[in-house]
């Protein structure tokens, strides 16, 4: 009964990996630890993911998927493009205020995987391209093309808030963003 039902091990591993990889760093966490945290054997982990590398990719894809869900929620919740963009800053800040905040998982992964050709780095590019695309799409509707600038502010605030361990960078970033985005036409 406490036993894992067939097909569930993969999900449990992914959840444990997400917690541990984000919290401690990818290289710092071994597959034994992930399996133990998931309450699953190493054989099950390898059966589902094949290798640690593939698990890492799956972990980032899962995070990207969850992030996309957040964006959809924001998009559904309001219609004003300006608000939609600024809501991303707020989302980051809420995210930051929860404890265990360690910055952007994708940027952290980039630090740990130096080779730009690594599959991990492709997932990172995919994620950042999607964010950029979202910003650009919203900004087009107010005749602005400052998506690049807003990306810089978001990335800058994300890393600075880890260094300083507070939300102030996001306040600064959002204030500047508000100046950059023209009000709805």
Partner DNA sequence: CACCAAACAGACAGGTCTGTCTGGTGTCAA
Partner DNA sequence: TTGACACCAGACAGACCTGTCTGTTTGGTG
- Shortest distance, position 86 Cβ to its own copies, whole Å: 16
- The pair of structure tokens assigned to 47 is 């059966």
- Shortest distance, position 50 Cβ to DNA, whole Å: 7
Q: Which partner in DNA, its own copies, none is near 151 (CB below 5 to 8 A by kind)?
A: its own copies
Angle between helices 42-49 and 31-38 (to 10 degrees): 100
Q: Give the x-and-dash track for 35-74 against DNA (CB under 7 A).
A: ----xxxxxx-xxx--xxx---------------------
* Among positions 9, 57, 135, 177, the unique one binding DNA when judged by CB under 7 A: 9
d(CA 106, CA 160): 15
Show contacts with DNA in window 11-30 (CB under 7 A).
29-30
CB nearer DNA, residue 42 or residue 141: 42
Residue ranges in contact with its own copies by CB under 8 A: 23-25, 27-28, 102-103, 107-108, 110-112, 114, 116, 124-125, 128, 148-149, 151-157, 159-160, 162-165, 168-169, 172-173, 176
How far is the CA of 52 from the CAs of 46, 82, 120, in angstroms?
8, 41, 12
Nearest alpha-carbon partner for 56 in 130, 158, 124: 124
- Shortest distance, position 24 Cβ to its own copies, whole Å: 6
Interaction of residue 115 with DNA, rule CB under 7 A: no
**Which DSSP string corresponds to 84-99?**
HHHHHHHHHHHHHHST
Instruction: Evaluate whether 57 touches 120 at the Cβ level (below 8 Å).
Output: yes
How far is the CA of 98 from the CAs of 20, 34, 133, 146, in angstroms?
16, 22, 27, 29
Instruction: Give the interface with DNA as residue ranges (CB under 7 A).
Output: 1, 3-10, 29-33, 39-44, 46-48, 51-53
């Amino acid at each position: 009964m406490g036993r894992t039902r067939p097909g569930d091990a993969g999900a449990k591993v992914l959840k444990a990996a997400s917690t541990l990889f984000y919290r401690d760093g990818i290289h710092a966490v071994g597959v034994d630890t992930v399996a133990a945290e998931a309450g699953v054997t190493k054989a099950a982990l390898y059966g589902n993911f094949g290798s640690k590398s593939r698990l890492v990719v799956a972990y980032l894809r899962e995070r990207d998927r969850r992030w996309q869900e957040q964006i959809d929620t924001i998009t559904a919740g309001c219609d004003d493009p300006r608000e939609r963009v600024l809501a991303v800053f707020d989302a980051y800040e809420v995210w930051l205020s929860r404890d265990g905040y360690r910055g952007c998982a994708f940027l952290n992964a980039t630090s740990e995987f130096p080779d730009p050709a690594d599959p991990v780095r492709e997932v990172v590019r995919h994620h950042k391209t999607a964010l950029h695309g979202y910003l650009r799409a919203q900004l087009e509707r107010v005749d602005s093309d400052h998506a690049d600038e807003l990306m810089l502010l978001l990335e800058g605030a994300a890393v600075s808030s880890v260094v300083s361990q507070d939300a102030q960078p996001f306040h600064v970033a959002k204030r500047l963003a508000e100046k950059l985005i023209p009000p709805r036409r």
